Amino acid sequence: MSSTSTAPPADSPAPAETETEAQRTRREGIEEHEARNLIVLACHQITLRIGWIFKTESVIMPAFLDIIAGAGWIRGILPTLNRLGQSVPPLIFADRMRHARVKSRVLMATSLSMAVPFLMLSVIWNSLEVKQQPWLPPLFLVLYLIFFSVTGLNQLAYGTVQGKLIQVQHRGRLMGVAGVVGSIAAVTAAWFMLKPWLGLPNGEGFTYVFAFNGIAFLIAGLIASTCREPADEHVEVPRRRLRDHVIRAWQVYRGDRTFRQAAHVAMLFITIMFLFPHFQWLGREKLGSSLQDLIYWVVAQNISVGVFSSLLGMVADRRGNRLAVRIAVFLTSLTPVVAILLASPLVEDGRRWFWLTFVLLGLVPVTMKTILNYTLELADETHHPRYLSTMTFCFAIPPLVFSAAFGSLIDLMPYQYPFLMVTGLIALGGLLTFRMAEPRHMSAEASTMVGD
């Protein structure tokens, strides 16, 4: 049975007089290898970024789905499956992640598993002479859900490994280094490979795109296997049903006011996912952009990820994650407005400038990581998996409930209305950041968290 108990601020070292010999040995082992592990985790994230640019959620995936299906309501399913996969599996796996003796092994296994759906898609797409098959859209959506289920576990593992091996004041640096170097590497790969592949007729290039995804994720898994991590003590993992995991997540939400305030911001911010598949549709349908234009949007988005990762990482390390989240959420709220303006007659040659929309979209993954880093500061290390999985579940709630409906709205009414609705919701989230606490300024008495 969970209960709320007073605890020291997250990530603070145990007082010397209460630290056992085993705890001291563990801490010294982590500190000894922190520099190496920071490099390893940065390389892991860089390699994931290189693979990820070839499956960008706002560009590549919906464009492929338009080729094999085409309806707005089907595009609207993508964010639902995305968040479903990244929320429920981590919620169920949080206890096992918490009690895993060597957590980086989970990071390795999930990274390798992320490759499987894309390697399958590459083989299937290459084998089809007639690309329009009635069974292909459902199969694609199933593989898409499987991929994001594994991705959700991978993100849980990465956050937990980071919380164990990297000190709080160095996590922004890790995000910045991985973001900048990852963007340069990903954009270079996209320019020399993705650009010509997207230019092949009848979508033939997706065979190579998906194969490259899979290979990159395999390499990322091998990199993760080189982490130096002291093993934790073996603990028997309690058996729980899905209902029990949901109850425990609810207890975190209800029992920790600071977490709850951040969760409200996260749920309003993530409404940007409603529009993720539709930005590329807007450019292609309203401005006449082609598949070749996708490369410029992908490049713009990934360069911005690198720039924003570095800038917000510095803000987070120096001034705290709360300020970084506030800046990022307000900037993200401008994205739908910029897209509307560029697609309107008010802007001459909007097709030429539509890449600016994707510059702002680069804030989305950076903001999510920053919110998760904020979440790490709300609990001690043993509670990181539960807090991370609960925040990830909060990210999932709005897309699960409303994303498909927003896809239908795009078909039924002028697109400006749903786009402006999302702008208003995100801006409200920005205002709510003023109610968030700064964990680094909280006293021990003020810091509470849900225990076991």
Model confidence at 58, pLDDT cuts 50, 70, 90, reads low
Q: To which H or E segment does residue 35 belong?
A: helix 34-52
Residue 282 located in a structural domain: yes
* Cα angle for residues 330, 331, 332 (degrees, 5° grid): 90
Residue 139 located in a structural domain: yes
What separation in angstroms does the CA of 299 have from each of 124, 150, 189, 358? 27, 26, 10, 9
Residue 187 located in a structural domain: yes
Q: What is the rounded end-to-end Cα distance, in angstroms, of the chain?
A: 6
Q: What is the pLDDT of residues 123-169, one digit of tens each?
A: 999 998 877 788 888 898 899 999 999 998 998 899 889 888 888 77
Model confidence at 14, pLDDT cuts 50, 70, 90, reads very low
Q: Which domain holds residue 78?
A: 30-230+242-437
Residue 153 located in a structural domain: yes
| pLDDT for residue 445 | 42
Q: Whole-prediction pTM value?
A: 0.71
Percent residues over pLDDT 70 in the chain:
89
- Are 14 and 23 a contacting pair, CB within 8 Å? yes
C-alpha span between 420 and 317 (Å, rounded): 33
**Per-residue pLDDT for 191 more than 90?**
no
Residue 235 located in a structural domain: no
| pLDDT for residue 383 | 85
What's the mean pLDDT in 204-222? 93
| pLDDT for residue 153 | 93
| pLDDT for residue 1 | 34
Nearest to 117 by CA among 90, 95, 92, 139: 139
Nearest to 175 by CA among 309, 267, 363, 37: 309
Residue 445 located in a structural domain: no
**Per-residue pLDDT for 7 more than 80?**
no
Nearest to 111 by CA among 166, 154, 81: 154
| pLDDT for residue 8 | 39
Number of domains in the chain: 1
CATH number at residue 166: 1.20.1250.20
Q: What is the pLDDT of residues 426-443, one digit of tens each?
A: 999 999 999 998 887 664
The secondary structure of 279-317 as a DSSP string is HHHHHHHHS---GGGHHHHHHHHHHHHHHHHHHHHHHHH
Nearest to 221 by CA among 85, 45, 34: 45
Of 18-22, 96-100, 375-379, 394-398, least confident by mean pLDDT is: 18-22
Q: What is the pLDDT of residues 290-347, one digit of tens each?
A: 666 777 888 888 889 888 988 998 898 888 899 999 999 999 999 999 999 998 888 7
| pLDDT for residue 219 | 96
What is the per-residue burial (b if ≥16 Cβ within 10 Å, else e) of 210-238? bbbbbbbbbbbbebbeebebbebeeeeee
CB atoms within 10 A of CB 181: 18
**Per-residue pLDDT for 241 more than 80?**
no
Q: What is the pLDDT of residues 260-301, one digit of tens each?
A: 999 999 999 999 988 877 887 788 777 777 666 777 888 888
- Are 107 and 217 a contacting pair, CB within 8 Å? no
Q: Give the amino acid at 97.
A: M
| pLDDT for residue 442 | 65
